[in-house]
Structure 1
């Protein structure tokens, strides 16, 4: 029996052309608007260009591009011909690229000229790489993106893929070490748009989406491409780093209706003292890390907008648990989105009681298939239809889920479990704290105690007196065993390119030798 044809690019582009919506705006980037018909032609030319380079079904095409029409064209162009785009962060190091490009065995690399100085030294080691296409600058001896694109026809029939064919890969962000290539399929990839996009956001064709999270990140790919294109909305792309002032300028100029960002970005926006008009926004969405309740309250007090925080992962495919408009509970990840299921279980696999902390597992139609070349990790994470998230959660009687940190982040202190997020939420209420992270540290007796790494707010002075003040501040709010025994002041927290705190770096940091 032949499987039914399904190609993701058709569900995002062809449906709009067939319905007479080809002239609707799809992309807005650096002052230029491109319609769905324009994007369809760009995608056809990109796919034809890849075919001209000998790219075949299931060949990997690595994308090392900023948020731009070029990214969208090459991503969907590769998918259209049955190839597999692999999205890579533009913020990584030479060694990172050496590892990732070798791991995915990309046949073609499409890169922005600005990142090539990090690629050139490792290129001779990439034995599977056949061609490099350069966008945004002089290609030198390589292939120019504009040159190869212009030479191609602007029509391209989609490859006869099925819902179970590989569509694209994205690397997990590496909060616990080595990144893993998460393999997504054509069929499941459309589900987040039909679930989160419909039930949480209520996206429609008149929406204009601005995502601070980049396209190479699962959260950003859904926000800037998969969800808006499914609903015929338009996406505002910002190629550069999303510095707070640039984000505010973009909001003022483009007037988006939906803002997607990680909590760290919301905190950075709040740190800008000048007033800004956000009246065009009807929804603010957060994911990538837990949104502390104090940050939610500050945002709502200043801008009059609630933030709909949620939990998802690259493996789940997008956000599966979220707060909903009008019933958000600050400090929680919200409720299960229709179409997904979630369960909190004890170490023995039995269901956790209401309010009991356990491991969170999720199942739903958007989940990935497996990790590329990592069988043990695949077996650990993908458990039948369920995805083991590695997050510790509790659920209340109303179905609201509260994050208690990662499974390997929880601290066993004096016989009690301590959630780093709980301690961090208290510290973030102190005026001297801009950011913080709490990890485990062994004391002189080898007993585990909390250690807080703190980035001071503007005007605050890192000193022993402030460290003592912060310890006392936590003691006044939480059980005595939960206060941080050490407070380390650092200029910035180590984070992944997508803004997640890399706690494993703090746990192994030499700063531990210099407690305050």
Structure 2
């Protein structure tokens, strides 16, 4: 990291915005490019001014230290302006998923009690119906053309001052909230401190990813997502690198266009995106970024076959890892130069993990247990969800809800969510293991496996499969897939039923919602 970065141990009196935004100008690097978005490049000096104007604009609306501002915003320079401007002013920003429905927005806005909402104009049709009868919301700011009762973000920024003194926050003040992805139910408010931002930048950004000031990083995962927030803001801003933003959906064609145009050296995606890009044989290193040196995957476990095919075709390792909204970013990861595809690697420096059984006793090597993690970026708890907080956060340890086993080399193998694991004939079945076997078939794009009971109280695997373009579902293909799986894993684990779908239910962050497939 550049000189003066706080790292894992910031001082007690600490405002993260001074570290990630202001420091670049002080150290003489303000002319470096911080962001490339749809409107072009933004230098660190220009970003600092935008951040200051956003912070002043929020203060002028009457917000004070520890007030909350909700953000339903596409990825652009104005997202970090509002996010870091709020933090610098001591106000708490709450980025919200841009792909939710009106009912979700209604719940989250009421739950978080934000007084101000900043929303991108293209999202207004979905958001506006959720604004009626909000008990806490005073002001709606639109990034774009506002309606009659709304204010313009551009006008507020233009009218605000370009200098802003940081609020007198401490490292242990709440800096921002995120909402969990809702892969297993209603999204929960997750509270993060100022100290958590430099901790992830130091432990993962420097300790694993090895990001450098000359890097250009493009994260297809959006900034509202903990994984995307780290990739697209925390890591590049900590080191003075450049982040590339894509405002729209990260569809394969759009992602490939960004890779071609901006030639990033680091790319962050989710497994479903990697698989979708690989489904088109025309996509390769020459049609993307020939300077791509490293890729990141998280959100769900990356199938071994997908990782190997990506590296062979694009010439860059994929560092698959596991993280969570609760831990802010990846805490278990493969390492550059020693990637073991099909595993989540080993603990990130600064983090410790344990595998425990149902009685919280540690399990041995090759035994499946629930993954617990201890590290410097664990959130303080869930907002207004005391019982859930007590279940998840136990002393220094956070329960992830993921099942893993550790091999003789110390690598951790993902088996599935605790709620997704099930036994067949007394043997644990990992949905991920069966799904990985299915995905290895040349006609399968995606798969999800759930337990199914035909009425005899005996669970057996049922698979939901999405085929690649041009492939046709049939009973013969289903039988072929069953035989294909039997040849690769224990016979007892093969799917007794295979249903072909056009798409799998997922969260906006790409996680498969298996609970929706259980009949």
Separation (CA, whole Å) in 2 of partners of 1:122 and 1:432: 42
1:381-460 to 2 correspondences below 5 Å:
381-460=392-471
Give ranges in structure 2 of 5+ residues lacking alignment. Answer: 1-10
Q: Which whole-Å CA distance do the structure 2 matches of 1:454 and 1:228 have between them?
A: 37
After TM superposition, the structure 1 = structure 2 runs for residues 469-484 of structure 1, keeping only pairs within 5 Å, are 469-484=480-495
In structure 2, relative to structure 1, the CA distance for the partners of 1:132 and 1:138 (3 Å cut) is closer
Pairwise CA distance, 1:213: 0.1
1:76-103 Cα offsets, whole Å, 9 max, x none, are 1111111111111111111110011111
**Counterpart residue number, 2:111:** 103
The CA deviation string for residues 383-432 of structure 1, in whole angstroms up to 9 with x for no partner, is 11111000001112222111010001101111111000110111001112
Question: Residue 174 of structure 2 is aligned with which of 155, 166, 175?
Answer: 166
2:28 alignment partner in structure 1: 20
Using the alignment, how far apart are the partners of 1:408 and 1:498 within structure 2? 19
- Partner deviation per Cα, 1:255-303 (whole Å, 9 max, x = no partner): 1110011111111111223241431111011111000001011112212
**Alignment correspondent of 2:370:** 359
Equivalent of 1:326 in 310, 313, 337? 337
| Aligned counterpart, 2:158 | 150
Match of 2:300 in 1: 289
Give the C-alpha shift of residue 136 in structure 1.
Answer: 2.1
Partner in structure 2 of residue 272 of structure 1 = 280
Task: Return the match for 1:9 from 14, 17, 20.
Answer: 17
Instruction: Return the offset for 1:134.
Output: 0.4
Q: What residue is the counterpart of 1:182 in the other structure? A: 190
> Could you say what secondary structure the match of 1:190 adopts?
helix
Distance 1:461 1:44, change over 3 A: same
Deviation at 1:31, TM superposition (A): 4.9
1:330 CA drift (Å):
0.7
Verify: 1:347 aligned to 2:347, yes or no: no
Match of 2:384?
373
* Preserved CA contact (<8 Å) 1:112 1:137: no
What SS does the aligned partner of 2:183 have? coil
Give per-residue Cα distances to partners, 1:284-343, cap 9 Å, x unaligned.
Answer: 111110000010111122122221100111111110111011100010000111111111
User: Is the CA contact 2:257–2:288 (under 8 Å) kept in the aligned structure 1?
Assistant: no
TM-score of the pair, normalised by structure 1: 0.96
Contact 2:265 2:289 in 1 (8 A): no
Match of 2:207 among 199, 203, 209: 199
Shift of 1:127: 1.0
How far is the alpha carbon of 1:178 from its aligned partner?
1.0
Residue of structure 2 equivalent to 1:490: 501
Give the match for residue 126 of structure 1: 134
The answer to whether residue 235 in structure 2 is matched with residue 227 in structure 1 is yes
**What TM-score, normalized by structure 2, do the two folds share?**
0.96
SS in 1 for 2:195: helix
The aligned length equals 506
Mapping for residues 298-337 of structure 1, pairs under 5 Å: 298-337=309-348
How far has the Cα of 1:469 moved from its partner?
1.2
**Secondary structure at 2:232's aligned position in 1?**
helix
